[in-house]
Amino acid sequence: MKKAIAVIFIIIVSGLLQPTYMMAQCAMCRASVETHISTGEDRIGLGLNTGILYLMVTPYLVLTVIGYLWYRQSRKEYEQKLRVKSIVESKVSQMP
């Protein structure tokens, strides 16, 4: 549990220390969208929005898969510990 808290803390701190210019919008993309919107075409903007959503979903999907695999592994280890504990308790209770 302490490792998970440390990893989350490191991720948050590293996110806060990122330079602010990294959050800026691409000037070429913005100019393209503004030009097409001013002429009445909104297909380019919709395509860019779809691309942005695709790029946004990918990291969350990767983190979800990693989290699920981590959960499954920890669950297997917990069940194995319970089996060992029950075996030890049964052997101890059989001792004279």
pLDDT(16) > 60: yes
Is 59 inside a domain boundary? yes
pLDDT of residue 27: 72
| Per-residue pLDDT, 68 | 94
Question: Could you tell me which residue, 27 or 75, shows the higher pLDDT?
Answer: 75
- Average pLDDT of span 38-67: 81
The predicted model gives 14-42 an average pLDDT of 67
User: In whole angstroms, what is the distance from residue 8 CA to residue 1 CA?
Assistant: 11
Q: For position 48, what pLDDT does the model report?
A: 76
Task: Please tell me the distance from the alpha carbon of residue 63 to that of residue 83, in angstroms, as a whole number.
Answer: 30
Please give the tally of structural domains in the chain.
1
14 domain-assigned: no
Q: Which domain holds residue 65?
A: 19-94
Tokens (6 digits) for 13: 């701190």
Q: Bigger pLDDT: 32 or 74? A: 74
Residue 10 forms part of a structural domain: no
Residue 5 lies in a domain: no
The structure tokens 């070429």 sit at: 28
